[in-house]
Chains A and B, each alone.
Chain A
Amino acid sequence: MQWEVVIGLETHVQLQTNTKIFCGASTAFGAEPNTQADAVSIALPGVLPVLNREAVQCAIRFGLAIDAEIGRRSVFARKNYFYPDLPKGYQISQFELPVVGKGKITIQLGDVEKVINITRAHLEEDAGKSLHGDFHGATGIDLNRAGTPLLEIVTEPDMRSAAEAVAYAKKLHELVQWIGICDGNMQEGSFRCDVNVSVRPKGSDKLGTRREIKNLNSFRFMQQAIEYETRWQIETLEDGGTIQQATVLFNPDTGETRAMRSKEEANDYRYFPDPDLLPLVISEADIEAVKAKMPELPEAMKARFEQQYALPAYDATAITASRGVADYFVAAVAAFGGEAKLVANWVMGSVAAKLNEEGKAIADSPVSAEQLAGLLKRIADNTISGKMAKEVFEAMWSGEGDADTIIEKRGLKQVSDSGAIEAIVDEVLAANAAMVAEYKAGKEKAFNGIVGQCMKASKGKANPAQVNEILKKKLAG
């Protein structure tokens, strides 16, 4: 039988606010345990939540970015369950009426575009952390993270492969950073995905029973986890088994998923509207205020780049895939002042390749946009050849300084003095009589060989265009 996998994602995006969602405690990562846990964070008797409007603005910003309905009246609800790192015994979340309604995100797989529908996004608070370290057999509780604002973004079950799910997650990851609502730091848990996976016979329109893979914090693990889970479900069904609805965890060491709790043990969260908080009302003016500060979105920027910089669609898409790359590109174009296509080639080529190789973000690139522009200027004014430029770029990357410094120090300046080039050409022609004869006998390819010899003799510094020109003149004569 042919099987089809059906995937939906729930992503917890930690919002970049200075303080927690319902109190004034700091949200900074990495502080000593419980130093950012105030009376509200530890849920002392009598404390009350007060909504942080900054978190609401982040939610509106996201809603606008995915062209979603903004809930004009949304309601905070209590999700009740007992856990030691959940200080109130309930999490304040949104249930029936979320702040962001239906929207969409378009992903690209090769040349194919696909729309992933967003069901909703809602605001909620994070829990603390249980520390299973050395506490004499006990568990430690760190409540610094308790109350950190989260936006939970839920998709429809629209994805049909691990690749699609990862492409969506990457796109979302980029978008939330692009609009400045999340730092995207997956190691620190700022962006965590829960993936719902089910399989069904291809052609069926009925959904299979799903299992939820919890808390994936790397795209590679997500890919592996979905692939393993899909195989496991198909094998189970083909062996005549059934799938039980369950929550599973992915173990990166074994590459396997394993059930954490089954549905029978599932909590009844007893959601009800939180009487400590008024319904969240968002006015047209609130939305307009967020809109006014909204950065240009990737789609709009892509269209603009095609127009303004005459970039091909492929280049414009690649350059606007991340806010950091786009910013880098714009800065380099401005500093360079020349043809934008040359900048795009370098950004998508050498820069991207080096970053990829070293696993770095463009913000951490050792070669700044201005430095790159400095190099491109020397290509444009024929100071160095394209080939030399690669060498200079490598040197810049390893921190040897600006393009001009490196060119000077390494003596890479291109020779464009026609007298000097003529001398080299004469020398080469004299030393390679056989090749000259071949060329004159009609073997066109021999020409390239002679050019190569000239470049070699000049230690690569001769201007190749001039070499060509002079050589052609001489051979014709």
Chain B
Amino acid sequence: MINASLKELATALGAKQISSVELTQLFLDRINRLNPEINAYITLDADRSLAQAAAADALIAQGKAGPLTGIPFAQKDIFCAQGWRTTCGSKMLENFVAPYDAHIISQFDNAGAVNLGKTNMDEFAMGSSNETSYFGKVQNPWDRARVPGGSSGGSAAAVAARLAPAATGTDTGGSIRQPASLCGLSGLKPTYGVCSRYGMIAFASSLDQAGPMAKSAEDLALMMNVMAGFDTRDSTSLQRDTEDYTRDLNQPLKGLRIGLPREYFADGLDAGVAKVVLDAIEQYRKLGAETVEVSLPNTQLSIPVYYVLAPAEASSNLSRYDGVRYGHRAAEYTDLMDMYCKTRAEGFGAEVKRRIMVGTYVLSAGYYDAYYLKAQQLRRLIAQDFEQAFKQCDVIMGPAAPGTAFKTGEKTNDPVAMYLEDLYTIAVNLAGLPGMSVPAGFSNGLPVGLQIIGNYFSEARMLNIGHQYQQVTDWHKQMPQGIE
């Protein structure tokens, strides 16, 4: 059951081989056993989860079940869920119980899914290793001494350790794809605007996007059917016809044109990772795809551009955590300014503070033009790179991360090395494109992800491309040891 696909779980639930309550309990038991070490979850509420499961069982009994009814999902602790503590990985929100549901949460609720718990994450989604969380580090199930990636590290570790059938994540610069790569999972960041951001705690509003993390592309497609869709409460949500993301899963890949960006196979890429990725591309050739070399000349600019724009937006988005209305407030203070300073000094961790300071600086009078405005101009150039490339190919492939999972603590004192983890993923967010990572093999026993970047709204096609690969490979079925 713990290795079952979402489709298999739905079948088992429908055939009454197992009830939702039993399935939920099974995962809760595994969480109780394994989570104290792995630390994938911040908040659990078995009563709430089981009550949802019981309600799902009633729906199933009435024959009103949808494809996800009764299946438990882990929710990244960035999504507000009514009655659930929602921390965003920060001391600032350590005791914040959300009084409303994020759009994504209500979509899962409406589908009859069970909320299994809230997963660990880098504080306010700022990090690539899950080491900035106030609630402690997360272990990579493939090697407990290594990081699971970030910021959706808890979600990735939960699914990899089979502490949840699947999970949600969010991706601002690679926060779904990089941990998916490091934990041997499939993860999709949709086109910006496909999933509503309402109730998803903001890091960098113009880049943040929710997406699914699961074992297979097929699971991702089923989750996308629930997560995607227009929401009037998010002005950047796109009004489009409802899609069935599973519709193209079984299309053949013959004639698919794969673009290989010269810049993604250059310096900085680990040789072991490069080999796995090239092998995967060879597999696609066998499936009938053609490859063409393309160029994304401004790739190197994406990290500096991102580290101007994302902190700028974050510095403003995080201003609301001021100790006045909710969240942490310093115990003692002399006046208003002292209350602000102490509250924020105590409530935020080092990485968050670093980004608030950078963001405040680049927006300051006298620096705005040189940093923020310039970065916005470069952002357009980066998007144009992809526009050009997609004239020659249908999808772009390359590595999701420059290396495999690194050791805990290895990069914590070198923020720039940490930022380079997102070298291949950040440009996709800047352009607003969809990006996906699928397991493509191992290097020194650690999982390696293949990144598939599609044109706007080509998620169904990308899922098809991932699914066809998973029909002829079994990397996505591999399981770490020691989690039985």
- Name A residues whose Cβ lies closer than 8 Å to a Cβ of B: 39, 42-51, 78, 80, 82, 84, 87-90, 141, 268, 270-272, 275-278
CA A116 to CA B126, docked complex, whole Å: 51
B322 within 8 A of A: yes
Given A87-B325, A88-B320, A278-B236: A272 and B100 interface contact (C-beta under 8 Å)? no
Given A50-B233, A80-B363, A82-B340: A272 and B316 interface contact (C-beta under 8 Å)? yes
Q: Are B316 and A43 in contact (CB under 8 A)?
A: no
Q: Are A89 and B322 in contact (CB under 8 A)?
A: yes
B residues 190-232 touching A (CB-CB < 8 Å): 197-202, 204-206, 232
Interface of A: prevailing SS = loop
CA A89 to CA B316, docked complex, whole Å: 7
Given contacts A80-B315, A270-B368, 4 further A-B contacts (CB under 8 A): A46-B201, A48-B198, A80-B319, A90-B316
What residue of chain B has the Cβ atom nearest to residue A84's Cβ?
A: B324
Given A44-B80, A47-B199, A82-B322: A278 and B235 interface contact (C-beta under 8 Å)? yes
B residues 322-349 touching A (CB-CB < 8 Å): 322, 324-326, 336, 340
Instruction: State the Cβ distance, A87 to closest chain B Cβ, in Å.
Output: 6
B86 within 8 A of A: yes
Q: Are B316 and A50 in contact (CB under 8 A)?
A: no
- Name B residues whose Cβ lies closer than 8 Å to a Cβ of A: 79-80, 86, 88, 93, 96, 98-100, 102, 197-202, 204-206, 232-236, 312-313, 315-316, 318-320, 322, 324-326, 336, 340, 360, 363-365, 368, 372
Q: Are B200 and A46 in contact (CB under 8 A)?
A: yes
Given A43-B325, A45-B86, A46-B201: A277 and B320 interface contact (C-beta under 8 Å)? no
CA A164 to CA B364, docked complex, whole Å: 37
CA A454 to CA B316, docked complex, whole Å: 85
Given A90-B319, A275-B205: A44 and B326 interface contact (C-beta under 8 Å)? yes
- From the candidates B205, B320, B325, B364, name the one contacting A270 in the complex (CB within 8 A): B364
Instruction: State the Cβ distance, B27 to closest chain A Cβ, in Å.
Output: 26
What residue of chain B has the Cβ atom nearest to residue A45's Cβ?
A: B201
Q: Are A48 and B340 in contact (CB under 8 A)?
A: no
Instruction: State the Cβ distance, B172 to closest chain A Cβ, in Å.
Output: 12
- From the candidates A44, A89, A268, name the one contacting B364 in the complex (CB within 8 A): A268
Q: Are A45 and B319 in contact (CB under 8 A)?
A: no
CA A78 to CA B198, docked complex, whole Å: 19
Could you say which residues of chain A place their CB within 8 Å of the CB of B199?
Answer: 46-47
The winner among B102, B206, B233, B372 for most chain A CB atoms within 10 A is B233
Instruction: State the Cβ distance, A218 to closest chain B Cβ, in Å.
Output: 29
Interface of B: prevailing SS = loop
Q: Are A80 and B316 in contact (CB under 8 A)?
A: yes
Q: Are B80 and A45 in contact (CB under 8 A)?
A: yes
Q: Are B325 and A48 in contact (CB under 8 A)?
A: no
Given A46-B198, A270-B364: A89 and B320 interface contact (C-beta under 8 Å)? yes
Q: Are B99 and A44 in contact (CB under 8 A)?
A: yes
A to B CB contacts below 8 Å, 24 in the list: A42-B326, A45-B93, A45-B202, A45-B320, A46-B197, A47-B198, A48-B198, A51-B235, A78-B316, A80-B363, A82-B322, A87-B324, A87-B325, A89-B322, A90-B319, A268-B365, A270-B315, A270-B363, A270-B365, A272-B372, A275-B313, A276-B205, A276-B235, A276-B236
Instruction: State the Cβ distance, A442 to closest chain B Cβ, in Å.
Output: 88
Q: Are A48 and B365 in contact (CB under 8 A)?
A: no
Could you say which residues of chain B place their CB within 8 Å of the CB of A44?
Answer: 80, 98-100, 326
Could you say which residues of chain A place their CB within 8 Å of the CB of B360?
Answer: 270
Q: Are A50 and B235 in contact (CB under 8 A)?
A: yes
Could you say which residues of chain A place their CB within 8 Å of the CB of B316?
Answer: 78, 80, 89-90, 270, 272
Q: Are B319 and A89 in contact (CB under 8 A)?
A: yes
Closest 6 interchain pairs by CB? A89-B319, A270-B363, A275-B206, A275-B205, A46-B199, A45-B201
What residue of chain B has the Cβ atom nearest to residue A272's Cβ?
A: B363
CA A169 to CA B143, docked complex, whole Å: 72
Given A51-B235, A270-B364: A45 and B88 interface contact (C-beta under 8 Å)? yes
CA A82 to CA B340, docked complex, whole Å: 9
The winner among A39, A44, A90, A268 for most chain B CB atoms within 10 A is A44
CA A51 to CA B236, docked complex, whole Å: 11
